[in-house]
Amino acid sequence: MKERTFWETIEVKGDELLDKVKEIIAEGNVRRVRIRQKNRTIAEFPLTVGVVGAVLAPVLAAVGALAALVAECTIDVEKTQPDPVVPVVPVVPAGASDRELDEQC
C-alpha cells in the first residue's frame, strides 16, 4: 500500500511548544518535526515508527529548552497517510444474464 506524505504547519507560543510536540508525537503518523522561528530552522528531528520512551527523552528535553528561549515559533510536521484503496466494481449492463456476467469475469 502506498503512502501519501504531506506537511502541516502549526503556530505556537513558547510555553505551548513542548505540550504540542508531545501531542504530535502521540498521533503516531509523523515522520519528521521541524521547529522554526521566523524563517530560521532551530530544530529538526526525524521520528520513526515505534520510537518511544527513553529514545524520545533527549528530543523532548531539547524541545523543552527551546521553549524557554523562544516567544513564538512554528512547528512543521511531516505526516504520512495511506492512499485510499478504491474498490474495483465491475459495471453490469442492464438486462445482462448470469451467463453473460460469468463470461465477463
* Residue 19: pLDDT over 80: yes
Calculate helix-pair angle for 57-69, 17-27, nearest 10 degrees.
150
Q: What domains are defined for the chain?
A: 3-104 (3.30.950)
* Segments of the chain assigned E as strands: 3-13, 30-37, 40-46, 72-82
Report the C-alpha gap between 74 and 17 in whole angstroms. 9
Q: What is the pTM (predicted TM-score) of this model?
A: 0.67
Tens digit of each residue's pLDDT (9 = 90 or more) over 31-65: 889 999 988 998 888 876 555 556 677 778 888 88
The 3-state DSSP class for residue 23 equals helix
